[in-house]
Structure 1
Amino acid sequence: MGSLDDLAVLDLTRVLGGPYCTMLLADMGANVLKVEPPGGDWVRRTPPFHHDDESEAYGGYFQSVNRGKLSLELDLTDEDDREDFLSLVDRADVLVENYRAGTMERFDLSYETLHERNPGLVYAAIRGFGDPRTGATSQQQRPAYDLIVQAMAGVMQINGQPDDPPTKFGIGIGDLFTGALSAVGILSALHHRERTGEGQFVDTSMYDAMVSMCERTVYQYSMTGEVPGRNGNSHPILFPYDAFPASDGQVVIAAIGPSQWDNLVEAIGRPELTAFREQSVRLENREWLRETISDWTSERTVEEVLDVLETVVPTAPVRTVADVFADGIADSREMLVELGIPGTDNQVTVAGSPIKMTATPTGPTGPAPLLDQHRGDLLDGDDDSWPETTELLDEAANGRVPTRTDGSGDGDPEE
């Protein structure tokens, strides 16, 4: 059993950051119930689909971050549905939502209301610019997406080539990093509850997370007064820590210590460059040294460069996701996991859990649910205990159909 298999988590999140947070908890065994508005999380209808077959229950995006969860469709504007939701709050250990500040208050489901009903509840909010409870700002009613917080927190300004415009990360780092930090905060609050019996409000802001991730630029600006710029693949205070061209691709070389530099210059047949073994001297001459190393690497294939350097200095090829699928490392680490799509014969490969433990298993426990799949198990039975996720996920794998799909539209309470 997973280390969190005694936890019941109400997941009101949608899109990426919040679902990634609760996915991490589900991968560690938590019983995560995804409470979806009428029509469900709109990401269900987001491609890619298996061979572009949009008749499937959901695409790869939804499967990836909602695997191993249960689903219940509720309209929080409806009095009966709200009562059903409150009955679940009574049984929950954790609630996670990523609406704009004030949204849950409109349904009379604020943290304070739910805390009074269930004092042990850990209520976690993921917002673009945080919640007024932990620090009010003028931005908290603004809608926020990954792109917005990357731009506002200074991430884009330091990402990209020096002569190119500011560039966002290729992945939704503003969502993913915030989701991971929220999971850390939730586990910390649960530890506090074990000692005191009291739940609390956990606030994780996307903007705050991006400022935290840019920790280097914060202290650099504080100490120098200079705004850090874009360095491409190089490092502002280390060399060589960069990408270099090969005849058929690129390699990265990270020979930052004096002994690593000695190994590098000996391997490329330039022992006279030991005169540059001190990092400060290398930085003063980095452009000429980059050209010198590039001249050597560009005359060789990626494989030839690795044959010479891989055993003496940290070196690696710049690869694609196809290479990751092919190399065997991800497979051996259980980082490529196949999940079935309920009601079809199709499968999709998703990224596994990066958290490994020796005593308790981690990783996807089943596919993402069909919309409202677990209504009968959660609301129509006589058992007041939180259901065992694994048993219900076995049914999901067999393609059991939902018992209620009468919602319409996106039903996003924030709107």
Structure 2
Amino acid sequence: MSGALRGVRVVDLTQALSGPFCTSLLADHGADVVKVESPRGDFLRNTGPFAADDEHRPYGGVFGSANRNKRGIVLDLKTAEAREVLLRLVDTADVLVENFSAGVMERLGLGYDTLAARNPRLVYTSIRGFGDAVGGKSPYRDWPAFDIVAQAMGGLMSITGPDADTPVRAGSGLGDTVPGLFAAFGTIAALREAERTGKGQYVDVAMVDSVLAVSEVVVNTYATAGVSPRPIGNQLQGFAPFDTVRAKDGKVTLGAPHRPQWTKLCDVMGRPELVTDERFATDHARWVNRDAVYKIVNAWTERHTVAELVELLGGKVPLAPIMDAEAIFADPHFAARDMLPTVEQPGTGRRVAVTGVPVKLSGTPGEVTRRAPLLGEHTEEVLREAGFDDAAIDSLCAAGATIRRGEAE
């Protein structure tokens, strides 16, 4: 692997989405990430979408994207032999990431204190619904959590949707991927400190905390004005126009809340007098009189098609068509930015797209070079690197501590 994190070794004990998303970000930038699965595998393997001609279904699309660029091994950590193998891997690792329930690693004898005693440089990152005791012991520490729980308790659902009676979960798994982003950031920060001091540390990330951290409207509005904000559809508190507006054949998003943008919009609409109209003369006035703003804007936009609005306003005022997957795959921006690289899909023999690397480093760019691993695909390879010979691997298989790739299929 090339990339800024080449040489960094990561033991990945994660499953579902939040943890694998975190470690995929590290892998994209060159870290050697070894995904450790139980013999039954990460349950996300069994979650679609699956291609219609994929008869074997080794994993679905979400697993494939969240686990690209990794190698995969099988260890049954319920066995003493497998736990000893993991300790051997930790001895030469820079990072371990896990998202088990609180206390699981301690019950396995693999808690942070145990691992740090063996490898003081180790950065140990955990992602849990409500965090671990390291960052402050939550009364909900032992509660299980999914994305929708994090979005609900982190405040995002309270401001998402058409109105206060219809709270809506964001359509993607932000309750998983946002914690994954913060976990990756925290891991890199801790790695930097370990490089300076030779001492690792525990990186404690809570899914709920992470969602709250990006729900800025919730915290800022209540802290400043003492008001709990409520959903207002696609609008943004204090900004107008900032919403979806009607076109002749659909809708577009439009943002012109500040005077320079509002002035350009008024010019294109042929309504320059609106710039000095006292109802719309300031950013705040446009928000207070937003109903009138949207009545005027919609009366103009609905006379044009989406394509015409893009032609009239694109590059002048923040505006965008609402793009679905088909449109994204056809759009030149995402091709130019390499945001839809392809990897082999082992169940079909075809290549399928995964999301690309959004962080573009000029000198050491990240890249997607490897599909997600089959269950146990690299078990023998990784164990040999760790010093196990064929006889030792045979012994581990006989003890039920691991399985080879052929036995996992």
* TM-based fold match above 0.5: yes
2:293 to 289, 297, 309: 289
CA distance in 2, matches of 1:366, 1:404: 17
Displacement of 1:299 in angstroms is 1.5
1:284 and 1:358 map into 2 onto residues whose CA distance is 44
Contact preservation (8 Å) 2:147, 2:176: yes
Do the aligned partners of residues 311 and 36 (structure 1) sit closer, same or farther apart at CA in structure 2, a change above 3 Å counting?
A: closer
Aligned to 1:21: 22
Q: Which residue of 1 aligns with 2:332?
A: 328
Q: 2:54, 2:348 within 8 Å by CA — same for their partners in 1? A: no
CA RMSD, aligned part only? 1.7
Count of paired positions: 391
What aligned pairs does 1:16-415 form with structure 2 within 5 A after superposition? Answer: 16-51=17-52, 53-162=54-163, 165-274=166-275, 275=277, 276-342=280-346, 344-380=348-384, 403-404=404-405, 406=407
Larger displacement relative to structure 2 (111-120 or 46-55)? 46-55
Q: Which stretch shifts more, 210-219 or 178-187?
A: 210-219
For 2:84 and 2:177, the matched residues in 1 are separated by 32
For residue 339 of structure 1, give the secondary structure of its aligned residue in structure 2. Answer: strand
Q: In the alignment, residue 332 of structure 1 is paired with which amino acid?
A: A
Cα gap change, 1:197 to 1:248, in 2 (>3 Å): same
Shift of 1:365: 2.0
Distance in 2 (alpha carbons) for counterparts of 1:343 and 1:52: 8
How far apart are residue 377 of structure 1 and its match? Answer: 1.3
The structure-2 alpha-carbon separation of the partners of 1:233 and 1:382, relative to structure 1 and needing over 3 Å to count, comes to closer
Distance 1:403 1:177 in 2: 34
Identical aligned pairs, as a percentage?
A: 43
Instruction: For structure 2, list consecutive stretches of 5 or more residues without a partner in the other structure.
Output: 389-402
Aligned partners of 1:324, 1:23: CA distance in 2, in Å?
22
Q: Which amino acid aligns with 1:380?
A: R
Instruction: Measure how far apart 1:98 and its partner are.
Output: 0.3
Give the distance between the partners of 2:384 and 2:288, measured in 1 at CA: 72
The ranges of structure 1 where at least 4 consecutive aligned residues each deviate by more than 2 angstroms after the TM superposition are 341-344, 380-384, 402-408
1:163 and 1:202 mapped to 2: Cα distance?
35
Task: Please state how far the C-alpha of 1:300 moved relative to its aligned partner.
Answer: 1.1
1-structure distance, mates of 2:365, 2:156: 35
- Structure 2 distance, partners of 1:215, 1:295, is 32
TM-score of the aligned structures, taking structure 1 as reference length: 0.91
For 1:278 and 1:312, the matched residues in 2 are separated by 20
CA distance in 2, matches of 1:264, 1:23: 42
Aligned-partner Cα distance in 1 for 2:303–2:165: 27
Q: Distance in 2 between matches of 1:52 and 1:131?
A: 43
- Aligned-partner Cα distance in 2 for 1:373–1:49: 20
Moved more, 263-272 or 142-151: 263-272
Query: Which residue of structure 2 aligns with residue 2 of structure 1?
Result: 3
Partner letter of residue 337 of structure 2?
A: R
Q: What code does the residue aligned with 1:334 have? A: D
- Provide the rounded CA distance (Å) in 1 between the counterparts of 2:164 and 2:33: 46
Are the aligned partners of 1:261 and 1:277 in contact in 2 as well (CA < 8 Å)?
A: no
TM-score by length of 2: 0.92
CA distance, structure 1, for counterparts of residue 322 and residue 84 of structure 2 = 53
Contact between 1:64 and 1:350, CA under 8 Å: does it hold in 2? yes
| Partner SS state of residue 251, structure 2 | strand
Distance 1:337 1:157, change over 3 A: same
Change (3 A) 1:213 1:263: same
Kept in 2, the 8 Å contact 1:39–1:405? The answer is no
What is the alpha-carbon distance in structure 2 between the residues aligned to residue 380 and residue 293 of structure 1?
66
Contact 2:218/2:229, CA 8 A, preserved across alignment: yes
Deviations 1:245-278 (A, max 9, x none): 1011111221122122122112112222111231
